[in-house]
Amino acid sequence: MSETNLVATEIIRTIPSIMRLLAMELRKQHSPLVPAQLGVLGALAEHSHNLSELAELSGVSLPTMSGTVSHLVAQGWVKRTRAPHDRRMIMLELTPDGRALLDHLVHHIVSYMALLLSPLSNTELSTIHSGLVTLQKVFPPLEPYKRD
């Protein structure tokens, strides 16, 4: 097996475990969001999007994203507005409550992940950080999750 295939296999093995931990932590904290909804709020924190853009970013169908967005709108975390350049287009934006919820959850998740990583040495943490920075060249993260 090539080195590229070995790395790809490890990524595929690791990401579901991280997502499972994230989902479990959200449930444990009685979060009103599941990871997919958190991702939508994260995308909207960067800037407004229309439904098609959000579906494409999330890799889901329009009907699936429509249901997700309708739920987020009903909760008051997202609002629909008309695009200034084309009044026929509906844009989706975070509300102040949506921003507050996202900020709270991201802060909590970062703290939780930091706790999980705390047993690692500085050398191990540096290695992970370097690897993630390299991965971001292939898989760019959404802006709200980028750290300086």
pTM: 0.80
Beta-sheet strands, E only, within the chain:
78-83, 86-94
What lies within 8 Å, CB to CB, of 80 at 6+ separation is 73, 90, 91, 92
CATH of 33-138, picked from 3.40.190.10, 1.10.10.10, 1.10.4030.10, 1.20.1300.10, is 1.10.10.10
pLDDT, tens digit only, all 148 positions of the chain = 899 999 999 999 999 999 899 899 889 888 898 888 999 999 999 889 999 999 988 889 999 999 999 999 999 999 999 878 877 889 999 999 999 999 999 999 999 999 999 999 999 999 999 999 999 899 877 654 444 3
For residue 71, which of 38, 43, 48 has the smallest C-alpha distance? Answer: 38
